[in-house]
């Protein structure tokens, strides 16, 4: 009598993994799964919901769906935020030969997925992009302002990064998994426009096909796009144009610091005008105000993906004040040392300012906005 095999029966990976990056999309996930079931009939598929620890319970709902449908998987990211990073993690978690990225809000036309799979099966393309602009129409999901911003950024990206796509800002695309495996170490995990990063990084080797679609209206919830998207777009452009030699976060940190000079001088003028006794006291108060100003804006923009709130915000403010106080001392010390060596005053002043900025940026990144 032959003993029964202890090796469990196995199933191969599905042909397609659909990545749905999500934040507060609980109401939309069940609808998207149902839509994918209809659109991908005849294709072996799975959906990977990558949730950035949504407070509305998106990940819990996705796991509940997955307990009843093995095609639904969930990655819950804690301490990490950002659409690009979520897309990369989702694609790298797949074992399927093809991976697609689309929004979880229903604005992308899931019926196009089957045609995208067909294009990849034909082995003539590595990347298939759903374009809103091939037929000249953006669809019902675009406001006038958002449409203009998208078209402007598309034009800028094509000219500066030499990306030959009609819609490099699209968030709806499909590619071979081995492509993302090769490109992932070179991609930025910050920002929103992961397709632009992929196209710019692999523009010399990728075979690209575009298919037209109509951009639809959001199913439920609120759009995650706001003014900070412009910062993410600028970050990606700077990284690609300089081959990652210049840190966009450091540039933004310095720009916030320049605005802090304005806050410092305005506070000093007010204190002097109302007759606060002693210039030393006026300067001390103005300096503290400027540091607080810098902290608030760096927290909101420079480190928006690691933004502090509640008690962490208060603790971070104290830490930032202490760090910048040491930075001010190093600024003066380095400037004095350079000045004693003989150069003109402005060279010494600039050297001290650079030293202070580097200190403040490096230490605050490691202490205040360290990864949680």
Domain co-membership, 195 together with 165: yes
Q: Flag whether 11 is in a domain.
A: no
Q: Flag whether 61 is in a domain.
A: yes
Q: How far apart are CA 165 and CA 210, in angstroms?
A: 8
Domain co-membership, 259 together with 175: no
pLDDT in tens, 244-286: 666 667 778 888 888 888 887 888 788 878 888 877 777 778 8
How is 249-305 classified by DSSP, letter by letter? Answer: HHHHHHHHHHHHHHHHHHHHHHHHHTT-S-HHHHHHHHHHHHHHHHHHHIIIIITGG
Q: What pLDDT score does 150 carry? A: 62
User: What average pLDDT does the structure give for the chain?
Assistant: 81
Q: Flag whether 293 is in a domain.
A: yes
pLDDT band at 221 (very low <50, low <70, confident <90, very high): low
How many domains are contained in the chain?
A: 2
Domain co-membership, 151 together with 208: yes
Q: How far apart are CA 131 and CA 199, in angstroms?
A: 14
Domain co-membership, 333 together with 186: no
Q: Flag whether 107 is in a domain.
A: yes
Domain co-membership, 213 together with 334: no
Asked which of 181, 214, 241 is the last residue of a domain, the reply is 241
Q: What pLDDT score does 167 carry? A: 84
| C-beta separation of 18 from 116 below 8 A | no
Res. 242: pLDDT tops 90: no
Two structure tokens written together for 304: 């928006």
Domain co-membership, 262 together with 134: no
Domain co-membership, 315 together with 197: no
Q: Flag whether 209 is in a domain.
A: yes
Which residue segment(s) compose the domain that 24 sits in?
A: 16-241
- Asked whether the CA dihedral 26, 31, 33, 39 is positive or negative, the reply is negative
Q: How far apart are CA 164 and CA 159, in angstroms?
A: 9
> Which CATH number goes with the domain that contains 226?
3.90.550.10
pLDDT in tens, 127-171: 999 998 886 555 555 555 555 666 666 666 666 666 778 888 788
Q: How many CA atoms lie within 13 A of 91 on its CB side?
A: 29
Strands 45-51 vs 16-22: parallel, antiparallel or unpaired: parallel
Domain co-membership, 179 together with 140: yes
Res. 2: pLDDT tops 70: no
Domain co-membership, 293 together with 234: no
Domain co-membership, 182 together with 317: no
Asked which of 241, 257, 291 is the last residue of a domain, the reply is 241
Asked which of 241, 261, 281 is the last residue of a domain, the reply is 241
pLDDT band at 204 (very low <50, low <70, confident <90, very high): confident
Q: Flag whether 4 is in a domain.
A: no
Strands 173-176 vs 98-101: parallel, antiparallel or unpaired: antiparallel
Mean pLDDT in residue range 78-85: 80
Q: What pLDDT score does 230 carry? A: 60
Q: Flag whether 7 is in a domain.
A: no
Domain co-membership, 76 together with 205: yes
Q: How far apart are CA 160 and CA 183, in angstroms?
A: 20
Residues linked to residue 18 through DSSP beta bridges, in sequence order: 47, 100
Q: Flag whether 10 is in a domain.
A: no
Please state the pTM of the whole predicted model.
0.68
pLDDT in tens, 53-81: 888 999 999 999 999 999 999 999 987 77
Domain co-membership, 186 together with 283: no
């Amino acid at each position: 009598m032959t003993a029964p095999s202890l090796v469990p029966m196995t199933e191969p990976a599905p042909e397609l993994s659909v990545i749905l990056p999500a934040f507060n999309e609980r109401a939309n996930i069940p609808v998207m799964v149902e839509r994918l079931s209809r659109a991908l009939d005849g294709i072996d598929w799975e959906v990977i919901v990558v949730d950035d620890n949504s407070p509305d319970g998106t990940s819990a709902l996705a796991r509940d769906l997955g307990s009843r449908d093995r095609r639904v998987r969930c990655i819950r990211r804690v301490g990490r935020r950002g659409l690009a990073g979520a897309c990369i993690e989702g694609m790298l978690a797949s074992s399927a030969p093809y991976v697609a990225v689309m929004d979880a809000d229903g604005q992308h036309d899931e019926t196009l997925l089957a045609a995208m799979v067909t294009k990849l099966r034909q082995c003539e393309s590595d990347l298939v992009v759903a374009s809103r602009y091939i037929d000249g129409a953006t669809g019902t999901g675009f406001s006038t302002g958002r449409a203009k911003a998208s078209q402007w950024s598309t034009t800028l990206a094509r000219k500066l990064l030499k990306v030959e796509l009609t819609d490099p800002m699209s968030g709806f695309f499909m590619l071979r998994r081995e492509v993302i495996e090769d490109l992932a170490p070179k991609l930025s995990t910050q920002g929103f426009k992961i397709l632009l990063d992929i196209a710019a990084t692999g523009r010399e080797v990728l075979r690209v096909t575009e298919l037209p679609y109509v951009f639809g209206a959001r199913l439920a919830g609120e759009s995650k796009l706001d003014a900070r998207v412009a910062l993410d777009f600028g970050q990606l452009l700077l990284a690609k144009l300089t081959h990652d030699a210049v840190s966009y976060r450091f540039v933004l940190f310095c720009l916030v610091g320049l605005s802090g000079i304005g806050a410092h001088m305005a506070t000093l003028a007010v204190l002097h005008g109302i007759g606060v006794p002693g210039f030393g006291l006026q300067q001390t108060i103005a300096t503290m105000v400027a540091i607080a100003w810098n902290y608030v804006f760096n927290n909101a923009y420079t480190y928006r993906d690691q933004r502090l709130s509640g008690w962490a915000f208060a603790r971070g403010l104290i830490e930032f004040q202490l760090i910048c106080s040491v930075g001010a001392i190093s600024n003066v010390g380095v400037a004095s040392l350079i000045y004693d060596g003989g150069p003109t005053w402005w060279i010494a002043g600039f050297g001290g300012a650079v030293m202070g900025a580097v200190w403040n940026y490096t230490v605050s990144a490691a202490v205040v906005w360290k990864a949680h």
